[in-house]
Structure 1
Amino acid sequence: MKIVIAEFMDEVAVATLRARFDTRYEPTLVDRRAELLPLLAGASALIVRNRTQVDVALLEAAPGLRVIGRLGVGLDNIDVPACTARGITVIPATGANAGAVAEYVLGTAMALLRMAYTRSAETAAGEWPRAALSSGREIAGKTLGLIGFGGIGQLTARLAQGLGVNVIAHDPMIDDASPVWQRTGVVATPLAVLLAQSDIVSLHVPLTTQTRNLIDHAALARMKPGALLINSARGGIVDEAALAAALRAGHLGGAAIDVYDEEPLVAGTAFAGLANLILTPHIAGVTLESNVRVSALIAERVAAQLQSAALK
């Protein structure tokens, strides 16, 4: 059986697959689609991250495909219904990068609240901007509003509570009577109320027709003056032009954005020149540790799926 790995994966995990299967690992294949498709002609498994577009054209080029491993959790780059119709199992790395994302949320929130970590050059030059940087805010006592309360949201809540943060959440997929609310000590909150009460709003939902542009002009206007917005979920959930306008107007205190409607960002984006903004290139869930966990999990589950298929 042949496995094709089109994006970066931990080398140890790749080695475990090579020991058992014919494995083609080229992390730049994602950028060479014309080469990738012919390689899939005899493949039984494909492993990707978020950039490889697993669409109908790719699936048609891979008639023997039985399993797709996703090195991450979002599936918006994979045509899941088309995979299901072809009997292809799609395996996300659920939970393996939750810790990295939760730390990103809290780390960027604290950096934005303090607004003191981007002035090193001035301090080194002897300018000593102490007065300008003495009005930062502490995270303890703030209210964190989580939109989406799955595994990552729940872990983020637990870490935030350890810092003295009050946590509320909105998730229409979880009933208000669910024991998860009592177990986590998080209050189930309507979306409009969450936006109005939160000092920090963090997104933890997939990109769907219901969540596209969920955070638009109207939603941003409902947020507290000086509040922060963090999106480590998916691009397209936030109206980027509306967010830039809210930041320029001074309505929001800052934002941290890791995912975008179009990746990479185009030069001259609406975000250009904003000081109260942290932009990162879709790495909230990617650390040395999480890459090891995600890769090991996907290698194990893809191998198990192929072994199961061979026994049928």
Structure 2
Amino acid sequence: MATCVIAQPIHPVGAEILQTAGIKVIQAPGPGLDALQAVIPAADAVIVRDRLPAKLIDASPRLCVIANHGTGTDKIDVAHASARGIPVVFTPTANVRAVAEHAMMLMLATAHQAALADAATRQGDWNFKYEQPMRSLYGKVLGIVGLGRTGRLLCEMVAGALNMQVIVWSPSLPEGEALPPNARRVSTLKELLQASDVVSLHRPLRADTHHMLDRVTLGAIKRGAIVINTSRGALIDEVALAEALRSGQLFGAGLDVFEQEPLPPGSVLCDVPNVVLSPHVAGSSQEALNATATQCAQQIIDVLAGRRPAHLVEPKVWERRRQPAQTNEQRVNS
């Protein structure tokens, strides 16, 4: 019987689908790497929501597929897995609506000072309503950096609900590809930053996108703008962001992702009042979790059955993949 290890908690439908297909499911005893280390040697498949370094990939000689619970795969050593002939699958469509909704929520919560208003109300501070500035987003300009599935859906949402104009900077978008009706393209990031009342990041983390918002780019942003990040924490230099928030260069920020997760208690962001924080939960609505767990489970079933899965991170690995039926001895001799 094949075994799938679930590294961090997922929606129970994932385990149910795997078990119905005759796959044994082992839940790691905790969400950390030490807990995963204890159970991954038995894995033919693994579902991860966090890091999977090379040493844990090598800890299971039977591992035939890694399922990334979500879209971004920068926390998985994909190159190492590919070199070992282990396909990595992901779920690029499962949580798009949840992430777009969360980005819009952070926009509104930041503009209307929701976190500070909640704290003031609990403390009986009724002067808050007279002292705290708030912003309306209706008719303002939203700058979307990276027009993938989430960015496109966010375009539609803000057009209908807030009548926002949208400008887009997306280097990987083909020149002739159609944009949403309320969006227009700009040629540079600087042009987008200077024109946007809200900037929402939707790019993957790579060497060329690391700290794309740093002191220089944050200094070029329209004064009083709002920055939203539901993509990857390291797209922003957090020290520079905190400085821009304190100085008034930015009105506020809404962040669901961070350079170090969990966010350390001493983070420069913890003492900045005009930032709304959430613990990387943008894609964690119950509906999204159900869909993501389902896609992970189904792709694992497909790989173990010899069927090409729907979403391969590195498609070329499929033709030289590690075979589930191989014994350890056959693998060593191959």
**8 Å CA contact retained: 1:154, 1:184:** no
Structure ranking higher on relative contact order (CA contacts 8 Å, 6+ apart): 2
SS in structure 1 of the partner of residue 250 of structure 2 = coil
Q: In terms of mean alpha carbon deviation, does 244-253 or 257-266 score higher?
A: 257-266
Change (3 A) 1:126 1:249: closer
Give 1:222's match in structure 2, choosing from 217, 220, 223: 220
* 1:199 aligned partner: 197
Please name the residue that 1:23 is paired with. Answer: 25
- CA displacement, residues 168-195 of structure 1 (integer Å, 9 cap, x when unaligned): 11111112222x32x5542121211001
Asked if the contact 2:116–2:273 (Cα under 8 Å) also holds between the matched residues in 1, the reply is no
Give SS of 1:176's match: coil
Distance 2:141 2:286 in 1: 30
The letter of the residue matching 2:82 is T
Note the C-alpha offset of 1:127: 2.9
Query: Is 1:151 paired with 2:142?
Result: no
Query: 2:94 and 2:261 mapped to 1: Cα distance?
Result: 23
Given the alignment of the two structures, is residue 186 of structure 1 paired with residue 169 of structure 2, yes or no? no
TM (norm. structure 2) is: 0.86
Give SS of 2:8's match: coil
Is 1:116–1:136's contact at 8 Å kept on the other side of the alignment? no
Of 207-216 and 123-132, the range deviating more from structure 2: 123-132
Q: 1:43 to 1:118 in 2, by over 3 A?
A: same
Distance in 1, matches of 2:182 and 2:221, equals: 23
Partners of 1:117 and 1:279 in 2: how far apart? 9
The answer for the alignment partner of 1:130 in structure 2 is 129
Q: Equivalent residue for 1:279?
A: 277
RMSD of aligned C-alpha atoms? 2.0
What's 1:169 paired with?
Answer: 168
**1:301 aligned to 283, 299, 302, which one?**
299
Partner of 1:14: 15
Question: Are the equivalent residues in 2 in contact too, given 1:195–1:224 (CA < 8 A)?
Answer: yes
**Pairs aligned (count):** 305
Structural mapping, 1:68-107, within 5 Å: 68-107=66-105
CA contact (8 A) 1:37 1:62 kept: no
Cα distance, 1:40 vs. partner?
Answer: 2.6
Moved more, 271-280 or 233-242: 271-280
Per-residue CA deviations over 1:264-312 (Å, capped at 9, x if unaligned) read 2222221232221111111111122211111111111111111126699
Moved more, 232-241 or 262-271: 262-271
Indicate how the Cα distance of structure 1 residues 83 and 205 shifts in structure 2: closer, same or farther if over 3 A, else same.
same
User: Counterparts of 1:267 and 1:311 in 2: how far apart (Å)?
Assistant: 47
Q: Is the 8 A contact 1:112 1:254 kept in 2?
A: yes
- Partner-residue secondary structure (3-state), 2:110: helix
Q: CA deviation at 1:41?
A: 2.6
Look up the match of 1:264.
262
Percent identity over paired residues: 33
Question: Which residue is equivalent to 1:36?
Answer: 36
What are structure 1's unaligned runs of at least 5 residues?
Answer: none
Instruction: Give the TM-score of the pair, scaled to structure 1.
Output: 0.91
Residue 128 of structure 1, CA deviation: 5.0
Q: Could you report, residue by residue, the CA deviation over 1:127-164 in whole angstroms, capped at 9, with x for unpaired residues?
A: 3543225x522211111111111111111111111121
- Deviation (angstroms), 1:126: 6.9
- Residue 123 of structure 1: CA displacement? 4.4
The 8 Å contact of residues 62 and 324 in structure 2, kept in 1 or not, is answered as no
Q: Which moved more, 1:118-127 or 1:156-165?
A: 118-127
Q: Equivalents in 2 of 1:268, 1:86: separation in Å? A: 39
Q: 1:126 to 1:250 in 2, by over 3 A?
A: closer
Distance 1:119 1:186 in 2: 32
Deviation per residue, 1:55-82 (Å, 9 max, x gap): 2211221222111111111101111111
